Amino acid sequence: MGTALSIPAQVVWGGFIIAFIFGAVANKTNFCTMGAIADVVNMGHWGRVRMWVLAVAVAIVATGALALNGQIDISKAGVQRPVLPWLSLGLGGLLFGVGMTMAGGCANKNLVRVGGGSVRSLVVLVFMGIASYMTLKGLFGQWRATWLDPVAIRLDAAGWPDQSLGTALSRLAGLDARTAQLVVMAVVVLALLAFAFKDKRFRGNTQQIVGGVVLGLLVAAGWYVTGHLGYGENPETLETVFQGTNSRTLESMSFVGPTAYGLELLMLWTDQSLHATFGIASVLGVLLGSAVVAVATGSFRWEGFSSVADLRSQLLGAVLMGFGGVTALGCTIGQGMSGLSTLALGSALALAGIVTGSVAMLKYTIWQAERED
């Protein structure tokens, strides 16, 4: 008879399976937040934005259902800490948005491209991972911790248990926490669904609709794996804790910090204190899920840099993504989907910074091209 998997192993394998599906769907549907923003700026086409909006709406409903039914305690997630480091979130998001535009895609999109044969994206991910590790524990981290993170609003000082929109409504309107959360969820989700489905072309695009629903459910699945399956007694300390994650709290899909931890594990493989985690497994899962689809559809192609100028732009973008993603506590997926699924105020602020940075860089690129003509 086989031995049951330990709690950390369940979390790691769960993260891999979820991310494998995520990578396969993202490849098949061409899901990309930066690409969606570029579609709007360059062509006025909102199809991929609507797909992303649908995914967020589904993630909010599914995550909220898990939390309201007591399956997970989402208030313990890192994005829900009752401290709002607004300068880090805003500036980090802005730099990430600029960086992902220079690099031709966010961390998730570059993982999908590596699965499709892009050596260029592999180089981008390595440099992003180095920069994110420097922001977590190195030189950039000292700057972040000294100058940016201390500029924060202490919501806990006002008695807020977390930073969700539901808590904000509860405090402002005097509603009980559960009712306030349900009201906020209903308003936000209905608004997102109305925006997504008001376009006739999107309503007729089955692939994007199915893709958005699946990706949203996968975000909620990530919270369930780390927040329910991963919550248990540590056999060494006998404490009941979240296991199998780098943050020691519940997590869902996010790829900047986990890329750094993945590089650390590879470089220090014999260090017995380091182990595979949900985040590291999710990075590998997206890459392999994308690779399977690329090979199966015949779209796998080796790809390199087109010029030295392209290399320079991609590497600078990678560094900005690494620094910005860690500083903003997440990327387009980590904050833009996973964070938003918890209705965290900080996630909305980080996403606003990401979109602003990306739009500004796209506009600058267009202006530069017109000037050269």
Q: How far apart are CA 123 and CA 127, in angstroms?
A: 6
In the chain, count H helices and then E strands: 15, 4
Nearest Cα residue to 29 out of 53, 46, 60, 52: 52
pLDDT at 2 over 60: no
146 found inside a domain: yes
The helix/strand/coil state of 207 is helix
pLDDT in tens, 339-352: 999 999 999 999 99
Provide the domain count of the chain.
Answer: 1
Mean pLDDT of all residues in 72-97: 97
Percentage of the chain with pLDDT > 90? 95
pLDDT of 236 reads 75
The 10 Å Cβ neighbour count of residue 213 is 18
61 found inside a domain: yes
1 found inside a domain: no
Mean pLDDT of all residues in 81-95: 98
DSSP state of 46: -
DSSP states of 75-114 as a string?
GGSGGG-SEE-HHHHHHHHHHHHHHHHHTTS-HHHHHHHH
Strand partners, 83: 154
Residue 237 banded pLDDT, cuts 50, 70, 90: confident
Residue with tokens 């996403």: 351
pLDDT at 41 over 60: yes
Q: Are 116 and 291 in contact (CB under 8 A)?
A: yes
pLDDT in tens, 112-129: 999 999 999 999 999 999
151 found inside a domain: yes
The helix/strand/coil state of 303 is strand
Q: What's the Cα-to-Cα distance from 57 to each of 163, 193, 218, 236, 310, rounded to whole Å?
A: 19, 7, 12, 40, 36
201 found inside a domain: yes
Q: How far apart are CA 211 and CA 202, in angstroms?
A: 12
More confident residue, 236 or 169: 169
pLDDT of 293 reads 98
Angle between helices 47-68 and 206-224 (to 10 degrees): 30
Strand partners, 232: 241
On average, the pLDDT of the chain sits at 96
Taking the whole predicted model, whether its pTM rises above 0.95 is answered as: yes
2 found inside a domain: no
Nearest Cα residue to 279 out of 16, 1, 88, 2: 16
Percentage of the chain with pLDDT > 70? 99
pLDDT of 1 reads 38
pLDDT of 233 reads 84
Residue 3 banded pLDDT, cuts 50, 70, 90: low
pLDDT at 8 over 90: yes
13 found inside a domain: yes
132 found inside a domain: yes
Q: What range defines the domain where residue 96 resides?
A: 7-372
Strands (E), the chain: 83-84, 153-154, 231-233, 240-242
Mean pLDDT of all residues in 154-181: 96
pLDDT at 235 over 80: no
